[in-house]
Structure 1
Amino acid sequence: MHPSSPDEPRRVVSLPLLAPHQGGRSARTCQYRCGNACDHPVPNTSDNAYLGDVIAHAVSRRSLLLAGAVVSLAAGATGALTGSAAAATPGAAAAGRHPGRSPRGLDFRPVAANRADAVTVPDGYEQQVVIRWGDPVLRGAPAFDPARQRAAAQAAQFGYNCDYLALLDLPSERSRRLLVANHEYTDEELMFAGYDPENPTREQVEIAWAAHGMSVVVLDEERRSGALRPVAGHRLNRRITATTPFEFTGPAAGSSLLRTSADPTGTRVLGTLNNCGGGKTPWGTVLSGEENFNQYFANAEAVTDRQTAARLARYGLAGGASERKWERFDERFDVSREPNEVNRYGWVIEIDPLDPESGPRKLTALGRLKHEAAEPRLTRDGRVVIYMGDDERFDYFYKYVSDGRVHSGNGLAARRHNRRLLDEGTLYVARFTGNSPAGQIDGTGALPEDGEFDGTGEWIPLASGTRSFVPGMTAEEVYVFTRLAADRVGATKMDRPEDVEPHPSTGTVYIALTNNSNRGAAGQPGPDEVNPRNANRHGQVVEVMESRNDPAATRFSWRLLLVCGDPADPGTYFAGFPKDQVSPISCPDNLAFDPHGNLWIATDGNALGSNDGLFGVALDGQNRGQVKQFLTVPIGAETCGPIVEEDRVLVAVQHPGELDGATPENPGSVWPDGPGHLARPSVVNVTREHGGRIGA
Structure 2
Amino acid sequence: MSLPRNFLQLLPMAGHTRGNRDAMTCHFKCGDACAQAVCNTSSNSYFRDIADKAMSRRAALGLGGVAAAAVVVGPQIANAPSASADFGGFGKGGGKLSFNAIDPVERTVDTVTVPEGYDWAPIIRWGDPLFHDAPVFDGANQTAAAQEQQFGYNNDYLNILADRGNGRTGVLVCNHEYTNEYMMFDPAWQAENADEARRIAWAAHGFSVVELKRAKAGQKWEYVVGGARNRRITATTPFRLDGPAAGSDLVKTVADPEGLTVLGTNNNCAGGTTPWGTIISGEENFNQYFQGRGTAEEARYGIGTGAPSRGWEKLDPRFSAQNPGYENETNRFGYIVEIDPQDPTSTPVKHTALGRFKHEGANINIAADGRVVAYSGDDERFDYVYKFISKGKYREGDKAHNMTLLSEGDLYVAKFSETSAAEIDGSGAVPSDGAFDGGGEWLPLVKNGTSRIAGMSVAEVLVYTRLAADKAGATKMDRPEDVEPNPATGKLYIALTNNSNRGKAGNAPADEANPVNGNRDGHIIELTERGNDAAALTFDWNILLVAGDPAVSDTTYFSGFPPEKVSPISCPDNLAFDSRGNLWISTDGAPGKIGYCDAIHKVQLTGPERGKVEQFLAVPAGAEACGPVIHDREDSVFVAVQHPGEGGTYAEPYSLFPDFKASREDVRAGEFYGPRPSVVQVFSTRGNKGVGHAKRAAKAKSLPRKK
Q: Same fold (TM over 0.5)?
A: yes
Structure 2, unpaired ranges of 5+: 1-7, 78-93, 665-672, 689-707
| 1:406 paired residue among 394, 400, 410 | 394
Question: Does the Cα contact within 8 Å between 1:74 and 1:546 map onto a contact in 2?
Answer: no
| 2:273 paired residue among 277, 280, 295 | 280
| Partner residue, 2:29 | 33
Q: Deviations over 1:505-536 (max 9, x none)?
A: 21000000000000011111110000000000
Q: Deviations over 1:337-387 (max 9, x none)?
A: 122001100000001111111110000101001010210000122111101
Q: What's the offset of the Cα at 1:235? A: 1.2
| Partner residue, 1:420 | 404
What TM-score comes out, normalization by structure 2 length?
Answer: 0.88
Structure 2 residue 469 is matched with structure 1 residue 474 = no
Question: Does the Cα contact within 8 Å between 2:409 and 2:449 map onto a contact in 1?
Answer: no
Tell me which amino acid in the other structure corresponds to 1:681: P
Q: What's the offset of the Cα at 1:223? A: 2.3
SS at match of 2:25: helix
Q: Percent identity?
A: 53
Structure 2 residue 385 is matched with structure 1 residue 397 = yes
Tell me which amino acid in the other structure corresponds to 1:473: M
Q: Deviations over 1:89-121 (max 9, x none)?
A: xxxxxxxxxxxxx99645423343322111100
Tell me which amino acid in the other structure corresponds to 1:564: A
Structure 2 residue 536 is matched with structure 1 residue 537 = no
Q: What's the offset of the Cα at 1:464? A: 3.3
Measure, in 2, the Cα distance between the counterparts of 1:342 and 1:379. 33
Alignment of 1:620-659 (within 5 A): 620-645=606-631, 646-647=633-634, 648-659=636-647
- RMSD between aligned residues: 2.3
Question: Does the Cα contact within 8 Å between 1:23 and 1:537 map onto a contact in 2?
Answer: no
Q: Deviations over 1:411-468 (max 9, x none)?
A: xxx22211111111101100011111x3310001001111110000000110136410
Q: What's the offset of the Cα at 1:21? A: 2.7
Structure 2 residue 509 is matched with structure 1 residue 526 = yes
Question: Does the Cα contact within 8 Å between 1:111 and 1:631 map onto a contact in 2?
Answer: no
Tell me which amino acid in the other structure corresponds to 1:541: I
Measure, in 2, the Cα distance between the counterparts of 1:197 and 1:395. 37
Measure, in 2, the Cα distance between the counterparts of 1:477 and 1:542. 30
| 1:687 paired residue among 683, 686, 698 | 683
Alignment of 1:315-394 (within 5 A): 315-337=301-323, 338-394=326-382
Tell me which amino acid in the other structure corresponds to 1:616: K
Q: What's the offset of the Cα at 1:139? A: 2.8
| Partner residue, 2:299 | 313
Aligned pair in 2 of structure 1 residues 480, 582: CA closer, same or farther (>3 Å)?
same
Structure 2 residue 578 is matched with structure 1 residue 594 = yes
| 1:266 paired residue among 259, 264, 272 | 259
Q: Deviations over 1:486-512 (max 9, x none)?
A: 000110000000011101021000000
Measure, in 2, the Cα distance between the counterparts of 1:601 and 1:75. 20
| 1:441 paired residue among 415, 420, 424 | 424
Question: Does the Cα contact within 8 Å between 2:240 and 2:348 map onto a contact in 1?
Answer: yes
Measure, in 2, the Cα distance between the counterparts of 1:249 and 1:80. 35
Aligned pair in 2 of structure 1 residues 482, 324: CA closer, same or farther (>3 Å)?
same
| Partner residue, 2:567 | 583
Tell me which amino acid in the other structure corresponds to 1:432: F
Tell me which amino acid in the other structure corresponds to 1:175: R
Measure, in 2, the Cα distance between the counterparts of 1:339 and 1:21. 34
Aligned pair in 2 of structure 1 residues 280, 59: CA closer, same or farther (>3 Å)?
closer
Q: Which moved more, 1:558-567 or 1:71-80?
A: 71-80
Structure 2 residue 197 is matched with structure 1 residue 204 = yes
Aligned pair in 2 of structure 1 residues 177, 60: CA closer, same or farther (>3 Å)?
closer
SS at match of 2:652: coil
Measure, in 2, the Cα distance between the counterparts of 1:635 and 1:655. 9
Q: Deviations over 1:397-424 (max 9, x none)?
A: 0010111111122xxxx22211111111
Q: What's the offset of the Cα at 1:607? A: 3.7
Structure 2 residue 473 is matched with structure 1 residue 487 = no
| Partner residue, 2:152 | 159
Alignment of 1:543-554 (within 5 A): 543-554=526-537
Measure, in 2, the Cα distance between the counterparts of 1:544 and 1:227. 36
Q: Name the count of aligned residue pairs.
A: 643
Question: Does the Cα contact within 8 Å between 1:498 and 1:513 map onto a contact in 2?
Answer: yes
Question: Does the Cα contact within 8 Å between 1:82 and 1:620 map onto a contact in 2?
Answer: no
What TM-score comes out, normalization by structure 1 length?
Answer: 0.89
Measure, in 1, the Cα distance between the counterparts of 2:422 and 2:193. 54
Alignment of 1:108-123 (within 5 A): 108-115=100-107, 116-123=109-116
Structure 2 residue 661 is matched with structure 1 residue 667 = no
SS at match of 2:307: coil
Measure, in 1, the Cα distance between the counterparts of 2:302 and 2:98. 40
Question: Does the Cα contact within 8 Å between 2:568 and 2:591 map onto a contact in 1?
Answer: no
| 2:229 paired residue among 236, 240, 245 | 236
Question: Does the Cα contact within 8 Å between 1:108 and 1:122 map onto a contact in 2?
Answer: yes
Tell me which amino acid in the other structure corresponds to 1:685: Q
| Partner residue, 1:93 | none
Measure, in 1, the Cα distance between the counterparts of 2:69 and 2:246. 39
Measure, in 2, the Cα distance between the counterparts of 1:557 and 1:153. 51
| Partner residue, 1:505 | 488
Aligned pair in 2 of structure 1 residues 170, 371: CA closer, same or farther (>3 Å)?
same
| Partner residue, 1:213 | 206
Measure, in 2, the Cα distance between the counterparts of 1:405 and 1:106. 39
| Partner residue, 1:78 | 72
Question: Does the Cα contact within 8 Å between 2:207 and 2:233 map onto a contact in 1?
Answer: yes
Aligned pair in 2 of structure 1 residues 258, 60: CA closer, same or farther (>3 Å)?
closer
Measure, in 1, the Cα distance between the counterparts of 2:405 and 2:54. 43
Question: Does the Cα contact within 8 Å between 2:479 and 2:499 map onto a contact in 1?
Answer: yes
Q: What's the offset of the Cα at 1:74? A: 6.5
| Partner residue, 1:177 | 170
| Partner residue, 1:190 | 183
Structure 2 residue 256 is matched with structure 1 residue 249 = no
Q: Deviations over 1:578-617 (max 9, x none)?
A: 1111000000000000111110000001242101000000
Aligned pair in 2 of structure 1 residues 60, 547: CA closer, same or farther (>3 Å)?
closer
